[in-house]
Structure 1
Amino acid sequence: MDIIVPPSRKVLVDCVRSATAAPSLHNSQPWRFRIRSGRIDVFADHERRLPVLDPQGRELMMSVGAAVLNLRLALRVAGYLNDLQLFPEPGVVARVTAAHPAPVSDEIAALAEAIPHRHTNRLPFAHLPVPAEVLDKLRDAARAEGATLAVATPDGRDAILRLAGTADRVLRESPGYRTELARWTGDTRHEGVPIWAAGPWDALEAVPIRDFAQLSGKPRRRESFEPYPMIVVLATHGDDRAAWLRAGQALQRVLLTATWHGLAATPIGQPVEVPEIRRRLLDPVAGLSVQMVLRIGYGRTSGRTPRRPVTEVLIGGDPAHESAHRPAHPLTRR
């Protein structure tokens, strides 16, 4: 019988730190974590839900799902296989438990290495096509997490961008939208979207970049964006909490795969944040629900937005007898 030592608390805290690098709506970071005996419980922080843009908590749950994917990858690179349970008990969104040690594949190592380099890029992209083999990798990434990624045709791209522009105007006229935007924009230390990350305005107004800079009082610069942006659509079977959590994991795997291949990405959330427009993106024949629209391409680095310290997202700590040096319940393998 071999005694398998579970990861130390320090390793698990480092895994949580990787989880917090996940994307979230307006960089709201709506997650909490609890470390217990070789496992990490993940919670949704509903106080950080954006009620105007996300009344049902769909994007909040996707954000938590993205953090779960990071957590799984970080634990895997630490040398442990892991078991994932969704909604294992009331209040817990996901539970990631360390299983026995195992070698790490090159693909998993590359995805984990991409975690600190992934960021939302709201700058213009180069007028270069994305190779078909890279698009296949992105589709495979979504499929690995139980979702579907479709590349829009030229006509589909134009239709989606028109719908996104319409949705953007609807949202800007919605009660409470400006207040909510102001809450998550500006001189933020550990959360929200800093003005420097807002990005320019598309001179041709074809790519609807959300106007985080509109409340700053400073004029927003205009730049020429790529004339034919590549648009991909992430969808799931089902549209409940489990589907949203699955979509978040798939979204993050797609984004990390894109980062690994040198691609930049911009979520275009507006068309899925206006219900009547989102319904026009659904595919009733295939039974798919669209969860996110992405613009992808090659672009210059735009920088990472801030993250809350790990101490702010950890709930409590391990009992006194659990330490980095003496695991309480060693795993065994016969």
Structure 2
Amino acid sequence: MTTVDSGVLTRCVEAATLAPSLHNSQPWRFRITGRAVEVYADPSRRLDALDASGRELLLSVGAALFTLRLALRAQGWTPEHVLFPEPGTPNLVARVEPAREATPSETVTALAAAIPRRHTNRWPFAAAVVPADAIEELTRAAGDEGATLTIAGAVSRDAILGLGQAAERRLRADGGYRAELGRWTRPARGRHDGVPPTAVGPWDALERLPLRDFGLMHAQPWRTSERFEAHPTIAVLATHGDGPPQWVLAGQALQHVLLVATRLGLATTPISQPVEIPEIRELLTKTATGRWAQMIIRIGYGPPAATTPRRPLTETLRDESR
């Protein structure tokens, strides 16, 4: 069996830490042991007020898992992974192993190059329509991971935005939510997680888009009020079934979609408020077919977005291969 250089695995883990997560909480840990990389959920970084079930935590870990798999492919390895390989260790979400060497395709190389360029964009998007071929590619990316991505029509879009606004209002009224949001958005020197002021973006002057109201937490006199696009492209990411394996699957599909969008020059904003309140999430779920909404994504053409910090590998990786 061909030996895998531990430096390759370390670089792939470092790429995985660039995945998106709720409030940039980065709720993951990694362990390199032999040829394998183990991906763990870090329950100490779960957001209690927003994510009591741990669903969004596992979406975040799933996004990191997909990024790790992609990084390995870009390094010339075909990865194999097993979800929840040890039932007695529920925080061990996946074990990933480079199975065999394989020259990366141009598609893999281009997608991996998008990893450091992908950022949540909370700024107004242009009025330009997202082309049908781009929509088809994004839909296919979700399907490749076993999920579905459905672009909302005009009526569905307005309904989803209305549900998002209702969810945001309910969340704002929750003192626990406000306190939690404050902990993850309060500026702090040298902090390597959370959402810094530079990544917050402006207010929506018409308050149509259910963007997270970070401004509630601390004064931001610099934050402008701007008009956002009147007819945003809104997509619903869904899975068949709703449990920990499906949540991890949804996270992988989410990151695949976001990276394809980045490669195509599209900006994206994951919108999670409508799926954070169970009663509202059920309205987005097709119970007859067993399709559960896992995330709402806004897609379009936007200005460059600021990066968010990442924790150093010394905090997230344990290397037992040396």
Superposition TM-score tier, normalisation by shorter sequence:
over 0.9
| Partner SS for 1:129 | coil
In structure 1, C-alpha distance between the alignment counterparts of 2:320 and 2:46, rounded to whole Å: 28
Question: 1:312 aligns to what?
Answer: 315
Moved more, 279-288 or 32-41: 279-288
Distance 1:175 1:205 in 2: 21
**Residue 14 of structure 2: which of 13, 17, 36 is its match?**
17
Quote the Cα distance in structure 2 between the aligned partners of 1:96 and 1:248.
16
Q: Is 1:42 aligned to 2:39, yes or no?
A: yes
Deviating more after overlay: 132-141 vs 169-178: 169-178
Separation of aligned partners in 1, 2:163 and 2:56: 19
| Whole-Å separation in 2 of the counterparts to 1:221 and 1:282 | 35
**Structure 2 stretches of 5 or more lacking a match?**
none
Structure 2 CA distance for aligned equivalents of residues 60 and 162 of structure 1: 25
- The residue type paired with residue 30 of structure 2 is F
Q: What secondary structure is seen at the aligned counterpart in 1 of 2:96?
A: strand
Superposed CA deviations along residues 236-275 of structure 1, whole A, max 9, x for unmatched, are: 0010000000000000000000000000001111100011
TM-score where L is the length of structure 1 = 0.93
2:25 corresponding residue in structure 1: 28
Q: Which residue of 1 aligns with 2:51?
A: 54
Per-residue CA deviation, residues 173-218 of structure 1 (Å, 9 max, x unaligned), is: 1131111001100324200000111111111111121011322212
Residue 327 of structure 1 is matched in structure 2 by none
Matching of residue 289 in structure 1 with residue 286 in structure 2: no
| 1:118-197 alignment runs, 5 A limit | 118-188=118-188, 189-197=191-199
Deviations 1:2-40 (A, max 9, x none): xx4332111111111000000000000000000011110
Q: Secondary structure at 2:40's aligned position in 1?
A: strand
Post-superposition offset of 1:285: 2.0
Residues in 1 aligned to 2:76 and 2:236: alpha-carbon distance in whole angstroms:
33
Opposite residue 203 of structure 1, the aligned amino acid is A
Query: The residue matched to 1:294 in structure 2 has which SS?
Result: strand
The corresponding residue for 1:251 is 254
**Farther-moved stretch of structure 1 (117-126 vs 212-221):** 212-221
Range with bigger deviation, 238-247 or 81-90: 81-90
Matches of 2:83 and 2:270, distance apart in 1 = 25
Q: Where in structure 1 are there 5+ consecutive unaligned residues?
A: 323-334
Amino acid at match of 2:143: R
Distance 1:299 1:278 in 2: 27
Q: Alpha carbon RMSD of aligned pairs, Å?
A: 1.0
Asked if the contact 1:195–1:213 (Cα under 8 Å) also holds between the matched residues in 2, the reply is no
**247-256 vs 87-96, which deviates more?**
87-96
Amino acid at match of 2:107: E
Partner of 1:328: none
Question: Of the two, which has the highest radius of gyration?
Answer: 1
Correspondence 1:314-329 to 2 at 5 A: 314-315=317-318, 317-319=319-321, 322=322
| Alpha-carbon offset, residue 221 of structure 1 | 1.6
Q: Percent identity?
A: 55
Q: CA deviation at 1:44?
A: 0.2
Whether the 8 Å contact between 1:203 and 1:222 is mirrored in structure 2 is yes
Q: How far apart, in 2, do the equivalents of 1:106 and 1:218 lie?
A: 43
Q: TM-score, normalised by structure 2?
A: 0.96
SS of match in other structure, 1:218: coil
